[in-house]
Structure 1
Protein backbone atom coordinates (compact mmCIF):
# COMPACT_ATOMS: atom_id res chain seq x y z
CA UNK A 1 0.00 0.00 0.00
CA UNK A 2 1.65 3.18 -1.20
CA UNK A 3 1.24 6.29 0.94
CA UNK A 4 2.13 9.88 0.14
CA UNK A 5 4.58 11.71 2.39
CA UNK A 6 1.82 13.97 3.71
CA UNK A 7 -0.23 10.93 4.73
CA UNK A 8 2.75 9.37 6.48
CA UNK A 9 3.55 12.53 8.39
CA UNK A 10 -0.08 12.77 9.46
CA UNK A 11 -0.13 9.18 10.71
CA UNK A 12 3.02 9.76 12.73
CA UNK A 13 1.61 12.99 14.16
CA UNK A 14 -1.71 11.32 15.00
CA UNK A 15 -3.79 13.63 12.79
CA UNK A 16 -4.43 10.97 10.13
CA UNK A 17 -5.88 7.57 10.99
CA UNK A 18 -7.75 6.69 7.80
CA UNK A 19 -6.91 6.14 4.15
CA UNK A 20 -9.26 5.52 1.24
CA UNK A 21 -8.27 3.51 -1.80
CA UNK A 22 -9.92 2.13 -4.92
CA UNK A 23 -8.89 -1.50 -5.23
CA UNK A 24 -10.31 -4.49 -7.05
CA UNK A 25 -9.83 -6.37 -3.76
CA UNK A 26 -8.29 -5.55 -0.36
CA UNK A 27 -4.53 -5.06 -0.70
CA UNK A 28 -3.85 -5.13 3.05
CA UNK A 29 -5.45 -6.87 6.00
CA UNK A 30 -5.95 -6.04 9.64
CA UNK A 31 -2.64 -6.40 11.46
CA UNK A 32 -0.48 -5.57 8.45
CA UNK A 33 2.58 -3.57 9.51
CA UNK A 34 3.84 -1.27 6.77
CA UNK A 35 7.44 -0.14 7.04
CA UNK A 36 7.60 3.38 5.71
CA UNK A 37 9.86 6.43 5.58
CA UNK A 38 8.48 7.61 8.96
CA UNK A 39 8.45 4.25 10.73
CA UNK A 40 5.91 1.44 11.09
CA UNK A 41 2.28 2.07 10.14
CA UNK A 42 -0.22 -0.53 11.35
CA UNK A 43 -3.50 -1.40 9.61
CA UNK A 44 -6.32 -1.50 12.16
CA UNK A 45 -9.32 -2.06 9.89
CA UNK A 46 -10.25 -2.68 6.25
CA UNK A 47 -13.80 -2.35 4.93
CA UNK A 48 -15.53 -1.63 1.65
CA UNK A 49 -17.63 1.55 1.71
CA UNK A 50 -19.90 3.34 -0.71
CA UNK A 51 -18.50 6.63 -2.00
CA UNK A 52 -21.85 8.27 -1.22
CA UNK A 53 -21.45 7.42 2.48
CA UNK A 54 -18.24 9.37 2.97
CA UNK A 55 -18.52 12.44 5.17
CA UNK A 56 -16.43 15.49 6.00
CA UNK A 57 -15.10 13.74 9.12
CA UNK A 58 -13.74 10.95 6.93
CA UNK A 59 -11.93 13.51 4.82
CA UNK A 60 -10.45 15.20 7.88
CA UNK A 61 -9.22 11.90 9.32
CA UNK A 62 -7.66 11.01 5.95
CA UNK A 63 -5.80 14.31 5.79
CA UNK A 64 -7.80 15.62 2.82
CA UNK A 65 -8.55 19.32 2.49
CA UNK A 66 -12.28 18.66 2.15
CA UNK A 67 -14.83 15.98 1.34
CA UNK A 68 -14.84 17.21 -2.24
CA UNK A 69 -11.05 16.86 -2.41
CA UNK A 70 -11.27 13.31 -1.07
CA UNK A 71 -13.91 12.33 -3.62
CA UNK A 72 -11.89 13.94 -6.41
CA UNK A 73 -8.88 11.87 -5.36
CA UNK A 74 -11.05 8.75 -5.66
CA UNK A 75 -12.48 9.71 -9.04
CA UNK A 76 -10.00 7.59 -10.95
CA UNK A 77 -10.72 3.89 -11.44
CA UNK A 78 -14.38 4.47 -10.68
CA UNK A 79 -15.17 0.89 -11.67
CA UNK A 80 -13.40 -0.36 -8.55
CA UNK A 81 -14.88 -0.32 -5.03
CA UNK A 82 -13.70 2.08 -2.34
CA UNK A 83 -11.97 0.67 0.72
CA UNK A 84 -11.66 2.47 4.03
CA UNK A 85 -8.40 1.56 5.80
CA UNK A 86 -7.81 2.33 9.47
CA UNK A 87 -4.26 3.28 10.37
CA UNK A 88 -2.11 4.01 13.40
CA UNK A 89 1.54 4.76 13.99
CA UNK A 90 3.43 1.71 15.22
CA UNK A 91 6.72 3.32 16.20
CA UNK A 92 10.16 3.40 14.66
CA UNK A 93 11.28 0.79 12.16
CA UNK A 94 13.01 -2.06 14.05
CA UNK A 95 15.54 -2.24 11.24
CA UNK A 96 16.97 1.04 12.53
CA UNK A 97 18.19 -0.74 15.66
CA UNK A 98 19.43 -3.69 13.62
CA UNK A 99 21.45 -1.42 11.30
CA UNK A 100 23.33 0.07 14.22
CA UNK A 101 24.15 -3.34 15.75
CA UNK A 102 27.65 -4.49 14.80
CA UNK A 103 27.65 -8.31 14.58
CA UNK A 104 30.34 -10.51 16.05
CA UNK A 105 32.18 -13.11 13.97
CA UNK A 106 29.64 -15.85 14.62
CA UNK A 107 26.74 -13.63 13.57
CA UNK A 108 28.62 -12.46 10.49
CA UNK A 109 28.96 -16.07 9.37
CA UNK A 110 25.20 -16.46 9.74
CA UNK A 111 24.59 -13.29 7.74
CA UNK A 112 26.95 -14.43 4.99
CA UNK A 113 25.21 -17.79 4.80
CA UNK A 114 21.95 -15.92 4.27
CA UNK A 115 23.52 -13.88 1.48
CA UNK A 116 24.76 -17.08 -0.12
CA UNK A 117 21.19 -18.37 -0.17
CA UNK A 118 19.98 -15.19 -1.87
CA UNK A 119 22.71 -15.56 -4.49
CA UNK A 120 21.87 -19.22 -5.09
CA UNK A 121 18.18 -18.43 -5.59
CA UNK A 122 18.80 -15.56 -8.02
CA UNK A 123 18.18 -15.89 -11.75
CA UNK A 124 21.04 -13.47 -12.45
CA UNK A 125 23.59 -15.29 -10.33
CA UNK A 126 25.50 -13.89 -7.32
CA UNK A 127 24.58 -10.27 -6.68
CA UNK A 128 24.68 -9.58 -2.93
CA UNK A 129 28.36 -8.70 -2.52
CA UNK A 130 28.45 -6.73 -5.77
CA UNK A 131 25.51 -4.67 -4.59
CA UNK A 132 27.01 -4.06 -1.16
CA UNK A 133 30.28 -2.97 -2.75
CA UNK A 134 28.76 -0.52 -5.20
CA UNK A 135 26.71 1.11 -2.45
CA UNK A 136 29.79 1.24 -0.24
CA UNK A 137 31.74 3.03 -2.99
CA UNK A 138 28.87 5.33 -3.94
CA UNK A 139 26.84 6.47 -0.91
CA UNK A 140 24.02 8.91 -1.62
CA UNK A 141 24.01 8.08 -5.35
CA UNK A 142 20.67 7.59 -7.11
CA UNK A 143 19.49 4.01 -7.60
CA UNK A 144 19.15 4.39 -11.41
CA UNK A 145 22.80 5.41 -11.63
CA UNK A 146 23.94 2.44 -9.55
CA UNK A 147 21.74 0.07 -11.52
CA UNK A 148 23.09 1.41 -14.82
CA UNK A 149 26.67 0.86 -13.66
CA UNK A 150 25.80 -2.77 -12.96
CA UNK A 151 23.86 -3.16 -16.22
CA UNK A 152 20.64 -3.84 -14.35
CA UNK A 153 17.09 -2.54 -14.56
CA UNK A 154 16.36 -0.05 -11.78
CA UNK A 155 13.21 -1.79 -10.38
CA UNK A 156 15.03 -5.12 -10.08
CA UNK A 157 18.06 -3.47 -8.50
CA UNK A 158 15.92 -1.63 -5.93
CA UNK A 159 14.05 -4.84 -5.13
CA UNK A 160 17.33 -6.57 -4.33
CA UNK A 161 18.57 -3.64 -2.23
CA UNK A 162 15.41 -3.99 -0.14
CA UNK A 163 16.41 -7.60 0.58
CA UNK A 164 19.70 -6.33 1.99
CA UNK A 165 17.85 -3.66 3.94
CA UNK A 166 15.68 -6.35 5.54
CA UNK A 167 18.89 -7.79 6.97
CA UNK A 168 19.97 -4.40 8.33
CA UNK A 169 22.88 -4.11 5.91
CA UNK A 170 21.83 -0.99 4.00
CA UNK A 171 19.81 2.09 4.71
CA UNK A 172 17.84 4.31 2.36
CA UNK A 173 18.63 8.01 2.31
CA UNK A 174 16.66 10.92 0.89
CA UNK A 175 18.59 10.17 -2.29
CA UNK A 176 20.36 6.86 -2.71
CA UNK A 177 21.68 4.50 -0.06
CA UNK A 178 24.61 3.80 2.20
CA UNK A 179 25.84 0.77 4.08
CA UNK A 180 24.84 0.57 7.71
CA UNK A 181 27.43 -0.06 10.39
CA UNK A 182 26.27 -3.66 10.25
CA UNK A 183 26.74 -3.78 6.50
CA UNK A 184 30.23 -2.29 6.74
CA UNK A 185 31.23 -4.94 9.26
CA UNK A 186 30.00 -7.75 7.02
CA UNK A 187 31.71 -6.38 3.91
CA UNK A 188 34.96 -5.73 5.81
CA UNK A 189 34.89 -9.35 6.98
CA UNK A 190 34.70 -10.44 3.34
CA UNK A 191 37.06 -7.93 1.70
CA UNK A 192 39.18 -6.65 4.55
CA UNK A 193 38.84 -3.22 6.18
CA UNK A 194 38.32 -0.36 3.73
CA UNK A 195 39.09 3.30 4.30
CA UNK A 196 35.87 5.27 4.11
CA UNK A 197 34.99 8.92 4.38
CA UNK A 198 33.95 9.74 7.95
CA UNK A 199 30.25 9.27 8.59
CA UNK A 200 28.38 12.51 8.99
CA UNK A 201 27.23 12.97 12.54
CA UNK A 202 23.68 14.09 13.10
CA UNK A 203 20.23 13.14 11.90
CA UNK A 204 19.86 12.52 8.15
CA UNK A 205 17.43 14.65 6.18
CA UNK A 206 13.98 13.06 6.12
CA UNK A 207 13.15 11.23 2.92
CA UNK A 208 9.71 12.85 2.87
CA UNK A 209 11.07 16.25 1.80
CA UNK A 210 11.60 14.98 -1.73
CA UNK A 211 14.54 14.78 -4.09
CA UNK A 212 14.53 18.42 -5.34
CA UNK A 213 14.76 19.79 -1.80
CA UNK A 214 17.40 17.23 -0.85
CA UNK A 215 19.54 18.14 -3.85
CA UNK A 216 19.22 21.85 -3.06
CA UNK A 217 20.29 21.31 0.55
CA UNK A 218 23.21 19.11 -0.41
CA UNK A 219 24.37 21.80 -2.84
CA UNK A 220 24.90 24.14 0.13
CA UNK A 221 26.48 21.37 2.23
CA UNK A 222 23.41 20.79 4.42
CA UNK A 223 23.08 17.05 5.00
CA UNK A 224 21.50 16.76 8.47
CA UNK A 225 18.68 18.26 10.49
CA UNK A 226 21.24 19.73 12.84
CA UNK A 227 22.74 21.62 9.91
CA UNK A 228 19.28 22.75 8.79
CA UNK A 229 18.75 24.32 12.23
CA UNK A 230 21.58 26.74 11.47
CA UNK A 231 19.55 28.32 8.67
CA UNK A 232 16.53 30.59 8.80
CA UNK A 233 13.38 29.40 7.08
CA UNK A 234 13.51 32.39 4.76
CA UNK A 235 17.07 31.63 3.65
CA UNK A 236 16.21 28.00 2.89
CA UNK A 237 13.05 29.08 1.06
CA UNK A 238 15.26 31.10 -1.27
CA UNK A 239 16.98 27.91 -2.48
CA UNK A 240 15.60 26.57 -5.74
CA UNK A 241 13.80 23.30 -5.03
CA UNK A 242 12.99 23.95 -1.37
CA UNK A 243 9.28 24.67 -1.23
CA UNK A 244 6.78 25.26 1.60
CA UNK A 245 5.93 21.56 2.00
CA UNK A 246 9.58 20.57 2.37
CA UNK A 247 10.11 23.41 4.83
CA UNK A 248 7.15 22.29 6.93
CA UNK A 249 8.39 18.71 7.00
CA UNK A 250 11.87 19.82 7.96
CA UNK A 251 10.41 21.92 10.75
CA UNK A 252 8.33 18.99 12.03
CA UNK A 253 11.34 16.65 11.94
CA UNK A 254 13.52 19.18 13.76
CA UNK A 255 10.79 19.69 16.35
CA UNK A 256 11.03 16.04 17.34
CA UNK A 257 14.69 16.71 18.20
CA UNK A 258 13.97 19.93 20.06
CA UNK A 259 15.40 21.96 17.18
CA UNK A 260 14.03 24.68 14.95
CA UNK A 261 15.02 27.17 12.32
CA UNK A 262 17.50 29.87 13.19
CA UNK A 263 16.09 33.31 13.89
Structure 2
Protein backbone atom coordinates (compact mmCIF):
# COMPACT_ATOMS: atom_id res chain seq x y z
CA UNK A 1 0.00 0.00 0.00
CA UNK A 2 1.51 3.34 -1.08
CA UNK A 3 0.80 6.94 -0.24
CA UNK A 4 1.07 8.41 -3.74
CA UNK A 5 -1.38 11.30 -3.60
CA UNK A 6 1.47 13.85 -3.35
CA UNK A 7 2.29 12.95 -6.96
CA UNK A 8 -1.27 13.28 -8.24
CA UNK A 9 -2.98 16.65 -8.22
CA UNK A 10 -6.25 16.96 -6.28
CA UNK A 11 -8.24 17.64 -9.45
CA UNK A 12 -6.83 14.46 -11.02
CA UNK A 13 -7.69 12.42 -7.93
CA UNK A 14 -11.28 13.67 -8.03
CA UNK A 15 -11.47 12.76 -11.72
CA UNK A 16 -10.10 9.28 -11.02
CA UNK A 17 -12.75 8.75 -8.38
CA UNK A 18 -15.44 9.93 -10.81
CA UNK A 19 -14.09 7.62 -13.52
CA UNK A 20 -13.20 10.49 -15.86
CA UNK A 21 -9.44 9.82 -15.64
CA UNK A 22 -8.01 6.31 -15.82
CA UNK A 23 -4.38 6.79 -16.84
CA UNK A 24 -1.38 8.87 -15.85
CA UNK A 25 1.90 9.42 -17.67
CA UNK A 26 5.25 9.73 -15.93
CA UNK A 27 8.89 10.00 -17.03
CA UNK A 28 10.81 7.46 -14.96
CA UNK A 29 14.12 5.64 -15.38
CA UNK A 30 12.21 2.48 -14.45
CA UNK A 31 8.71 1.70 -13.15
CA UNK A 32 8.11 2.91 -9.60
CA UNK A 33 4.80 1.13 -9.07
CA UNK A 34 3.51 -2.39 -9.71
CA UNK A 35 0.25 -3.69 -11.12
CA UNK A 36 -2.22 -4.41 -8.35
CA UNK A 37 -0.72 -1.90 -5.91
CA UNK A 38 -3.32 0.15 -4.07
CA UNK A 39 -2.35 3.71 -3.20
CA UNK A 40 -3.81 5.70 -0.34
CA UNK A 41 -4.89 9.09 -1.62
CA UNK A 42 -7.03 11.99 -0.45
CA UNK A 43 -10.07 10.50 -2.21
CA UNK A 44 -9.56 6.87 -1.14
CA UNK A 45 -7.74 3.86 -2.56
CA UNK A 46 -6.54 4.07 -6.17
CA UNK A 47 -5.35 0.85 -7.80
CA UNK A 48 -2.62 0.44 -10.43
CA UNK A 49 -4.12 -1.59 -13.28
CA UNK A 50 -1.25 -1.45 -15.80
CA UNK A 51 2.29 -0.11 -16.24
CA UNK A 52 3.60 0.19 -19.80
CA UNK A 53 6.57 1.95 -21.34
CA UNK A 54 5.38 3.90 -24.38
CA UNK A 55 7.17 6.02 -26.99
CA UNK A 56 6.24 9.69 -27.05
CA UNK A 57 5.26 9.32 -30.71
CA UNK A 58 2.48 6.91 -29.73
CA UNK A 59 0.64 9.41 -27.52
CA UNK A 60 -2.77 10.42 -28.84
CA UNK A 61 -5.50 12.93 -28.10
CA UNK A 62 -7.46 10.08 -26.53
CA UNK A 63 -4.52 9.44 -24.15
CA UNK A 64 -4.57 13.10 -23.19
CA UNK A 65 -8.31 13.00 -22.43
CA UNK A 66 -7.94 9.83 -20.38
CA UNK A 67 -5.15 11.52 -18.38
CA UNK A 68 -7.21 14.68 -17.77
CA UNK A 69 -5.04 16.92 -19.95
CA UNK A 70 -6.72 19.66 -21.97
CA UNK A 71 -4.95 18.54 -25.16
CA UNK A 72 -2.26 16.28 -26.52
CA UNK A 73 0.07 19.26 -26.76
CA UNK A 74 -0.53 20.07 -23.08
CA UNK A 75 0.19 16.46 -22.10
CA UNK A 76 3.47 16.47 -24.03
CA UNK A 77 4.50 19.84 -22.58
CA UNK A 78 3.89 18.52 -19.08
CA UNK A 79 5.98 15.45 -19.73
CA UNK A 80 8.83 17.53 -21.14
CA UNK A 81 9.09 19.88 -18.16
CA UNK A 82 11.03 17.49 -15.92
CA UNK A 83 13.60 14.91 -17.03
CA UNK A 84 12.67 15.02 -20.73
CA UNK A 85 15.38 12.45 -21.45
CA UNK A 86 13.70 9.72 -19.40
CA UNK A 87 11.33 7.08 -20.83
CA UNK A 88 7.58 7.58 -20.60
CA UNK A 89 5.37 5.16 -18.69
CA UNK A 90 1.61 4.93 -18.98
CA UNK A 91 0.03 3.93 -15.67
CA UNK A 92 -3.51 2.57 -15.64
CA UNK A 93 -5.55 3.76 -12.66
CA UNK A 94 -8.92 3.03 -11.14
CA UNK A 95 -10.72 4.09 -7.99
CA UNK A 96 -10.81 0.98 -5.80
CA UNK A 97 -12.50 1.81 -2.50
CA UNK A 98 -12.72 4.18 0.42
CA UNK A 99 -9.68 4.41 2.69
CA UNK A 100 -10.28 1.80 5.45
CA UNK A 101 -8.76 4.19 7.98
CA UNK A 102 -11.78 6.47 7.55
CA UNK A 103 -14.11 3.89 9.07
CA UNK A 104 -11.50 2.91 11.64
CA UNK A 105 -11.09 6.40 13.06
CA UNK A 106 -14.84 6.71 13.71
CA UNK A 107 -15.10 3.31 15.39
CA UNK A 108 -14.87 3.70 19.17
CA UNK A 109 -12.86 0.72 20.45
CA UNK A 110 -14.05 -1.55 23.25
CA UNK A 111 -11.99 -2.13 26.39
CA UNK A 112 -10.00 -5.04 24.95
CA UNK A 113 -9.16 -3.10 21.81
CA UNK A 114 -8.13 -0.06 23.82
CA UNK A 115 -5.74 -2.26 25.80
CA UNK A 116 -4.19 -3.42 22.51
CA UNK A 117 -3.82 0.18 21.26
CA UNK A 118 -2.33 1.33 24.58
CA UNK A 119 0.23 -1.49 24.47
CA UNK A 120 1.14 -0.49 20.90
CA UNK A 121 1.58 3.16 21.94
CA UNK A 122 3.78 2.06 24.83
CA UNK A 123 5.99 0.08 22.45
CA UNK A 124 6.38 3.12 20.19
CA UNK A 125 7.40 5.25 23.16
CA UNK A 126 9.88 2.67 24.41
CA UNK A 127 11.46 2.32 20.97
CA UNK A 128 11.84 6.07 20.45
CA UNK A 129 15.44 7.32 20.77
CA UNK A 130 14.14 10.77 21.73
CA UNK A 131 11.77 9.64 24.47
CA UNK A 132 8.00 9.12 24.75
CA UNK A 133 5.95 11.05 22.22
CA UNK A 134 2.64 9.30 21.50
CA UNK A 135 0.36 10.82 24.16
CA UNK A 136 2.04 14.20 23.87
CA UNK A 137 1.33 14.23 20.14
CA UNK A 138 -2.29 13.13 20.54
CA UNK A 139 -2.92 15.77 23.21
CA UNK A 140 -1.24 18.46 21.10
CA UNK A 141 -3.42 17.65 18.09
CA UNK A 142 -6.47 17.67 20.36
CA UNK A 143 -5.47 21.09 21.68
CA UNK A 144 -4.59 22.60 18.31
CA UNK A 145 -6.63 21.00 15.51
CA UNK A 146 -6.21 22.34 11.95
CA UNK A 147 -2.78 23.75 12.86
CA UNK A 148 0.18 23.59 10.47
CA UNK A 149 2.51 20.64 11.08
CA UNK A 150 5.61 22.88 11.39
CA UNK A 151 3.89 24.86 14.16
CA UNK A 152 2.91 21.67 15.97
CA UNK A 153 6.42 20.28 15.57
CA UNK A 154 7.88 23.45 17.06
CA UNK A 155 5.52 23.18 20.04
CA UNK A 156 6.60 19.56 20.51
CA UNK A 157 10.29 20.41 20.19
CA UNK A 158 10.73 18.14 17.17
CA UNK A 159 11.74 18.68 13.57
CA UNK A 160 8.85 18.73 11.10
CA UNK A 161 9.71 15.54 9.10
CA UNK A 162 10.04 13.46 12.28
CA UNK A 163 6.81 14.92 13.67
CA UNK A 164 4.90 14.12 10.47
CA UNK A 165 6.27 10.59 10.43
CA UNK A 166 5.06 10.06 13.99
CA UNK A 167 1.61 11.40 13.16
CA UNK A 168 1.39 9.02 10.19
CA UNK A 169 1.94 6.11 12.59
CA UNK A 170 -0.98 7.31 14.72
CA UNK A 171 -3.12 7.80 11.63
CA UNK A 172 -2.50 4.19 10.56
CA UNK A 173 -4.31 3.09 13.72
CA UNK A 174 -7.15 5.55 13.15
CA UNK A 175 -6.20 7.77 16.09
CA UNK A 176 -5.83 10.97 14.08
CA UNK A 177 -7.19 12.42 10.85
CA UNK A 178 -5.35 14.59 8.34
CA UNK A 179 -7.01 17.84 7.28
CA UNK A 180 -6.12 20.16 4.42
CA UNK A 181 -4.28 22.10 7.13
CA UNK A 182 -2.95 20.06 10.05
CA UNK A 183 -4.80 17.28 11.81
CA UNK A 184 -7.54 16.52 14.31
CA UNK A 185 -8.04 13.85 16.93
CA UNK A 186 -10.43 11.08 15.87
CA UNK A 187 -13.18 9.56 18.00
CA UNK A 188 -10.91 6.55 18.35
CA UNK A 189 -7.99 8.65 19.56
CA UNK A 190 -10.22 10.52 22.00
CA UNK A 191 -11.45 7.22 23.47
CA UNK A 192 -7.87 6.12 24.15
CA UNK A 193 -6.94 9.38 25.89
CA UNK A 194 -10.15 9.34 27.92
CA UNK A 195 -9.52 5.73 28.95
CA UNK A 196 -6.11 6.69 30.31
CA UNK A 197 -7.54 9.71 32.12
CA UNK A 198 -5.59 12.39 30.27
CA UNK A 199 -6.98 15.93 30.76
CA UNK A 200 -8.00 16.72 27.20
CA UNK A 201 -7.82 20.39 26.15
CA UNK A 202 -10.85 20.07 23.87
CA UNK A 203 -13.27 18.86 26.54
CA UNK A 204 -14.11 22.40 27.66
CA UNK A 205 -14.98 23.58 24.17
CA UNK A 206 -18.57 23.86 23.03
CA UNK A 207 -19.78 21.03 20.82
CA UNK A 208 -19.23 21.81 17.13
CA UNK A 209 -22.26 22.67 15.08
CA UNK A 210 -23.69 19.43 13.65
CA UNK A 211 -23.60 18.85 9.93
CA UNK A 212 -21.44 17.68 7.06
CA UNK A 213 -17.72 18.61 7.29
CA UNK A 214 -16.04 20.38 4.39
CA UNK A 215 -14.53 18.07 1.75
CA UNK A 216 -10.84 18.24 0.87
CA UNK A 217 -10.48 21.55 -0.96
CA UNK A 218 -6.81 22.38 -0.70
CA UNK A 219 -5.09 24.40 2.01
CA UNK A 220 -5.78 27.87 0.57
CA UNK A 221 -9.53 27.34 0.18
CA UNK A 222 -9.85 25.58 3.54
CA UNK A 223 -8.01 28.43 5.22
CA UNK A 224 -10.28 30.99 3.54
CA UNK A 225 -13.47 29.23 4.61
CA UNK A 226 -12.43 28.38 8.17
CA UNK A 227 -11.22 31.97 8.70
CA UNK A 228 -14.87 32.97 8.22
CA UNK A 229 -16.14 30.26 10.57
CA UNK A 230 -17.27 27.99 7.71
CA UNK A 231 -16.44 24.42 8.70
CA UNK A 232 -19.65 22.64 7.63
CA UNK A 233 -21.44 22.43 4.30
CA UNK A 234 -24.65 23.66 5.94
CA UNK A 235 -22.85 26.88 6.81
CA UNK A 236 -21.57 27.29 3.26
CA UNK A 237 -25.13 26.78 1.97
CA UNK A 238 -26.15 30.00 3.73
CA UNK A 239 -24.01 31.94 1.25
CA UNK A 240 -24.41 32.56 -2.45
CA UNK A 241 -21.88 31.06 -4.84
CA UNK A 242 -20.66 34.57 -5.63
CA UNK A 243 -19.98 35.25 -1.95
CA UNK A 244 -17.95 32.06 -1.63
CA UNK A 245 -16.08 32.71 -4.88
CA UNK A 246 -15.11 36.14 -3.59
CA UNK A 247 -13.18 34.64 -0.67
CA UNK A 248 -9.46 34.89 -1.34
CA UNK A 249 -8.10 31.38 -1.90
CA UNK A 250 -11.33 29.80 -3.18
CA UNK A 251 -10.73 28.95 -6.82
CA UNK A 252 -12.50 26.86 -9.48
CA UNK A 253 -11.22 23.56 -8.07
CA UNK A 254 -12.57 24.29 -4.58
CA UNK A 255 -15.89 25.52 -5.95
CA UNK A 256 -16.33 22.38 -8.06
CA UNK A 257 -15.73 20.18 -5.04
CA UNK A 258 -18.01 22.24 -2.85
CA UNK A 259 -20.81 21.96 -5.43
CA UNK A 260 -20.35 18.19 -5.71
CA UNK A 261 -20.25 17.67 -1.94
CA UNK A 262 -23.27 19.92 -1.39
CA UNK A 263 -25.26 18.18 -4.10
CA UNK A 264 -24.48 14.81 -2.51
CA UNK A 265 -25.73 16.18 0.83
CA UNK A 266 -28.91 17.66 -0.69
CA UNK A 267 -27.63 21.21 -0.29
CA UNK A 268 -26.87 24.13 -2.59
CA UNK A 269 -25.58 27.68 -2.44
CA UNK A 270 -28.17 30.21 -1.29
CA UNK A 271 -30.11 31.52 -4.24
CA UNK A 272 -29.17 28.53 -6.41
CA UNK A 273 -32.37 27.32 -8.14
CA UNK A 274 -31.43 23.70 -7.30
CA UNK A 275 -31.38 24.44 -3.58
CA UNK A 276 -33.56 21.96 -1.70
CA UNK A 277 -36.25 23.46 0.18
Match for residue 28 of structure 1 among 33, 36, 43: 33
What is the CA–CA distance in structure 1 between the aligned matches of 2:149 and 2:51, rounded to whole Å? 33
Match for residue 8 of structure 1 among 13, 17, 25: 13
1:221 equivalenced with 2:221 (yes/no) = no
1:209-252 superposed Cα distances (whole Å, 9 cap, x missing partner): 22121111112211022222222111111112212221112112
1:48·1:83 contact (CA, 8 Å) conserved in 2? Answer: yes
Match for residue 120 of structure 2 among 98, 114, 125: 114
Does the residue aligned with 1:254 lie in a helix, a strand or coil? helix
Match for residue 176 of structure 1 among 182, 205, 213: 182
1:163 equivalenced with 2:172 (yes/no) = no
Displacement, 1:34? 1.2
Displacement, 1:166? 0.6
**Corresponding residue of 1:201:** 210
Displacement, 1:196? 4.3
Give unmatched runs, 5+ long, in structure 2: 272-277
What is the CA–CA distance in structure 2 between the aligned matches of 1:189 and 1:44, rounded to whole Å? 43
1:245 equivalenced with 2:250 (yes/no) = no
Does the residue aligned with 1:259 lie in a helix, a strand or coil? coil
1:30·1:43 contact (CA, 8 Å) conserved in 2? Answer: yes
Displacement, 1:200? 4.2
What is the CA–CA distance in structure 2 between the aligned matches of 1:100 and 1:153, rounded to whole Å? 29
What is the CA–CA distance in structure 2 between the aligned matches of 1:155 and 1:18, rounded to whole Å? 31
Displacement, 1:204? 2.1
Farther-moved stretch of structure 1 (148-157 vs 5-14): 148-157
Displacement, 1:40? 1.2
Does the residue aligned with 1:112 lie in a helix, a strand or coil? helix
1:213·1:241 contact (CA, 8 Å) conserved in 2? Answer: yes
Match for residue 258 of structure 1 among 266, 271, 275: 266
Does the residue aligned with 1:174 lie in a helix, a strand or coil? coil
Match for residue 59 of structure 1 among 56, 59, 64: 64
Does the residue aligned with 2:48 lie in a helix, a strand or coil? strand
Pairing of 1:141-152 with structure 2 (within 5 A): 141-152=147-158
1:22·1:82 contact (CA, 8 Å) conserved in 2? Answer: yes
If the length of structure 2 is used for normalisation, what is the TM-score? Answer: 0.90
Displacement, 1:70? 0.7
Does the residue aligned with 2:97 lie in a helix, a strand or coil? coil
Aligned pair count reads 262
1:174·1:205 contact (CA, 8 Å) conserved in 2? Answer: no
**Corresponding residue of 1:233:** 241
What is the CA–CA distance in structure 2 between the aligned matches of 1:258 and 1:81, rounded to whole Å? 46
Does the residue aligned with 2:69 lie in a helix, a strand or coil? coil
What is the CA–CA distance in structure 2 between the aligned matches of 1:146 and 1:6, rounded to whole Å? 28
Displacement, 1:193? 5.8
**Corresponding residue of 2:274:** none
Greater than 6 Å deviation, 4+ residue runs: none
Give unmatched runs, 5+ long, in structure 1: none
Match for residue 146 of structure 2 among 140, 152, 173: 140
Superposed CA RMSD in Å reads 1.5
1:212 equivalenced with 2:220 (yes/no) = yes
